Structure 1
Amino acid sequence: MRGLFSTLLVVLVALMIVTSEAGKNKKEKNKGGKGGADCAEWLYGSCVANNGDCGQGMREGTCNEQTRKVKCRVPCNWKKEFGADCKYKFGNWGECDAATSTKSRTGTLQKALFNVECQQTVSVTKPCTTKVKNKPKGKKGKGKGN
């Protein structure tokens, strides 16, 4: 009985090894055809949100005559005029322009993700803020009656 159990155990282990190797070979074969291993440089378009302006979306890539779609995400707070795939390094905000009541700063391109075309420099503006200086500090956390 013990001999039969040992033989059965050896056969099961051997069967598990053979099946796992077959599964690995199948996965490697599928990678070549579907993944476009023969294509060296994929060019991707912008990420397009599935619903609305931001959130989960899809990006289409092309290489030679092959196309593929990959999942992506468009950030909801990103400046739409220069896209989420172009990363810029910005300088400090300039002085407030009294005529327009705005201030601006420029950014230079640091990185273009997914080989998308980006502007080398961009400029952004925002309204000037009026900060109240020497604001009296009140007591915090004391409630109505102090």
Structure 2
Amino acid sequence: MKTLLLIALLCVMVNCLLAQEDTEGKRRRGKKGPQEGCSGWTWQPCVPAEGDCGLGQRQGTQEGPNCKILSKTIKCRIPCGRRKEYGDCRYRRAPWEECDADTNMESRTLELKRAVKGATCESEVVQTRVCKGACKYQKKEATDCNEESNTFTVTKQLKEGDPTLCQQEIVKTKRCKDKMVGDGEAVTGKAAKKAAKKAARKEARKAARKEKRAKKPEINGEAATPKGPCQYGAWSEFGECVDNKQTRTRPIMSGAEKRRCQQRATQVRNC
């Protein structure tokens, strides 16, 4: 019995080794290196279609007598925002170190995480900035919203801080939906769309009520309720005050034999 178990274990191990070698062979066949007499691909930086970030194209070239294709173009993308500064290089950010009291600066190290094929990236990058709270700015009035770009500009002037370390002026461009006026309501964008939808719903409800009133049939010149077993005419004026109560009635056009119709035909209120 033990011999059979040993033989079974050996068969399983051999099958695993063969499967691993087969997988590695497929990987090697899938990633072919440059052919003999061909230099291999050299890629140019990504060029955005519009502006300095977003979707674009990258040009690749190779040289050699055995190269079937000497140049080709592929799609690429440069991230916008904070990652735009390093382009094809992706870094892992470490926490900011403690503020240096002598220089009033703090730093952190970025370690290379990955890079786009053909991109030249540094293995480590050191970032520095002025310590938080060292520079205080005074917000100036923002510009009007540019309808074409849907953006506005806010300028901040240095209020407190070392002029040799702090920027004298900071200019930020924001979307119009982020622009606020005195009472905190957005001029355009998300808040404006929300207000417009609310107004549209209000107008729709008002139009629906008006249409419903217009569809009520008239019996002997008086409006009556079109639906339900009980249909009434118009209310009369409230009568004189008796025992601190006033009463008014309306004629029953349909359903006079029903008790609930009779109850709803009379209304009483305090004087």
TM-score by length of 1: 0.52
Quote the offset at 1:42 in angstroms.
2.3
Asked whether the 8 Å contact 1:39–1:63 carries over to 2, the reply is no
Larger Rg over CA atoms: 2
Quote the offset at 1:110 in angstroms.
2.7
Supply the distance in 1 between the matched residues of 2:76 and 2:100 (Cα, whole angstroms).
38
RMSD over aligned CA atoms reads: 2.5
- 1:21-54 Cα deviation digits (max 9, x unpaired): xxxxxxxxxxxxxxxx995542222212122211
Which amino acid counterpart does residue 90 of structure 2 have in structure 1?
K
1:109 matched to 2:112? The reply is: yes
The equivalent of 2:90 in structure 1 is: 87
Which amino acid counterpart does residue 64 of structure 1 have in structure 2?
E
Distance of aligned partners of 1:87 and 1:38 in 2 relative to their CA distance in 1, 3 Å threshold: closer
1:129 matched to 2:138? The reply is: no
Supply the distance in 2 between the matched residues of 1:112 and 1:74 (Cα, whole angstroms).
12
Quote the offset at 1:99 in angstroms.
4.5
- Larger RCO: 1 or 2 (CA < 8 Å, sep 6+): 1
Tell me which of 67, 73, 76 is aligned to 2:71: 67
The equivalent of 1:58 in structure 2 is: 57
- 1:82-130 Cα deviation digits (max 9, x unpaired): x321122232211123354432111222322112111121111233224
Supply the distance in 2 between the matched residues of 1:99 and 1:58 (Cα, whole angstroms).
46
TM-score by length of 2: 0.30
Supply the distance in 2 between the matched residues of 1:50 and 1:109 (Cα, whole angstroms).
27
SS of match in other structure, 2:51: coil
Quote the offset at 1:79 in angstroms.
4.4
The equivalent of 1:43 in structure 2 is: 42
Asked whether the 8 Å contact 1:43–1:116 carries over to 2, the reply is no
Supply the distance in 1 between the matched residues of 2:54 and 2:115 (Cα, whole angstroms).
20
Q: Percent identity?
A: 38
For these two proteins, the number of residue pairs brought into alignment is: 92
Asked whether the 8 Å contact 1:106–1:123 carries over to 2, the reply is yes
